[in-house]
Amino acid sequence: MAIINCARCGKVFSPEKLTNICPDCLALEAKDLKTVTDYLRSFPLANVMEVSNRTGVDPMQILRFVKSGSLRMTDPPEQLKCRLCGKELKKGTLCQDCMDKVSELKEREKKRDKNIHRNRR
């Protein structure tokens, strides 16, 4: 049986499916998702940073929800703003700084996924 470290709390556990998060954290994530969803229902145009400040949920976690499709955020109708820090943009959804941050995170996740595959063999 493969064992890995939880990507959130670092606890060692055996994943039943391809995941890098332990059951405890999965439950926490579900709670975070509900908190964020509820907040966005009241403030549909809030950006990630606002949502994070108000709900206490990590902005990277919110972005992950968005990317995985669990969370839908409404695009601001007029001016374009960075989804992460709220800086005004000419185009796109993230400013260069935040784009760098996110791609760094993606790299880290890619490496982590590779580790899971290796451990499961």
Residue ranges binding Zn ion (CB under 5 A): 6, 8-9, 11, 22, 25, 82, 84-85, 87, 95, 98
C-beta of 36 vs 84, nearer to Zn ion: 84
CB of 27 or CB of 38, closer to Zn ion:
27
* Beta carbon nearer to Zn ion, 71 or 95: 95
Q: 54 or 87, CB closer to Zn ion?
A: 87
Contact indicator for 59, 84 with CB cutoff of 8 Å: yes
Query: How much helix, strand and coil, in percent to the nearest 5, is found in the chain?
Result: 50, 5, 40
> Are the CB atoms for 29 and 61 separated by under 8 Å?
yes
In whole angstroms, the minimum distance from the beta carbon of 25 to Zn ion comes to 3
User: Shortest distance, CB of residue 13 to Zn ion, whole angstroms?
Assistant: 7
Q: How far apart are CA 63 and CA 54, in angstroms?
A: 15
Residue 67 beta carbon to Zn ion: minimum distance, rounded to whole angstroms: 16
Parallel, antiparallel or unpaired: strands 80-81 and 88-89: antiparallel
Question: Rounded distance, CA 69 to CA 112, Å?
Answer: 21
**Closest CB 100 distance from Zn ion, rounded Å:** 10
